[in-house]
Amino acid sequence: MEARCTACGAALELPCACKACGALQPLATERDPWTELGFEPGFDLDEALLKKRLLSASRLVHPDFHGADAASRELAEALSARLNRAHAILADEARRADALVVLLGGPDESTSREMPREFLLEVLEWNEVLEEARQARSWSATVESLRDELAVRRHGVLADVRALLAPTPARGDARLQPARAKLNAARYLDRALGELEALRLSATRS
């Protein structure tokens, strides 16, 4: 059934507000990020369209335009917060895949912490170099090549995730478990890359 505006009855392009009359829509139970921004759930996403939707939806729900009374300001705050959260998830490949696995009934991060076996062996090696870098607090050619290696691996892991999640599997599909394991690996890589970036910035500073 097509959603309609609670104020004017026009068909809603996005669930947060009505483009036709500008009315904010009531704060329903939280929706998945795709629905929030008018997409079908899936790994592949038109990023230019995503940005366009964020901007046009923000123009409708941002508190800047709903300051007349406390109630509408508060509603606008809550709707904007949801919109921004949905956008943040969809704009990041790994977070998007993570949300998709959960939405399709797959294991979430807290229940399944396993990583691909071959990956674990590499993690041990990387951790050694990481620990050395932590101790030295300086940026070296070794650290830089570790950074490059991790970046390449992250790219590869996400390509694997894409292969598992696109086209979108059915609810409870067997591919969701290996996708989760790959995402756990991606999460490890993101953390390590984040730490290396912080190290690079602080090394440039001194």
Where on the chain is the footprint of another protein (CB under 8 A)?
Answer: 51, 55, 58-59, 62-65, 67, 77-78, 80-82, 84-85, 87-88, 197, 201, 204-205
Angle at 172 between CA 170 and CA 178, to 5 degrees: 100
The smaller minimum CB distance to another protein, of residues 68 and 141, is found at 68
The smaller minimum CB distance to another protein, of residues 65 and 119, is found at 65
The smaller minimum CB distance to another protein, of residues 89 and 104, is found at 89
Task: Give the CA distances from residue 198 to residues 71, 95, 154, in Å, rounded to whole numbers and listed in that order.
Answer: 42, 21, 18
Rounded to the nearest whole angstrom, what is the least distance from the CB of residue 67 to another protein in the complex? 6
Rounded to the nearest whole angstrom, what is the least distance from the CB of residue 146 to another protein in the complex? 17
Contact between 61 and 79 under an 8 Å Cβ cutoff? The reply is yes
Rounded to the nearest whole angstrom, what is the least distance from the CB of residue 85 to another protein in the complex? 6
The smaller minimum CB distance to another protein, of residues 81 and 174, is found at 81
Rounded to the nearest whole angstrom, what is the least distance from the CB of residue 205 to another protein in the complex? 4
Q: Where do we find the tokens 């949905």? A: 86
Contact between 47 and 87 under an 8 Å Cβ cutoff? The reply is no
Rounded to the nearest whole angstrom, what is the least distance from the CB of residue 196 to another protein in the complex? 11
The smaller minimum CB distance to another protein, of residues 11 and 151, is found at 151
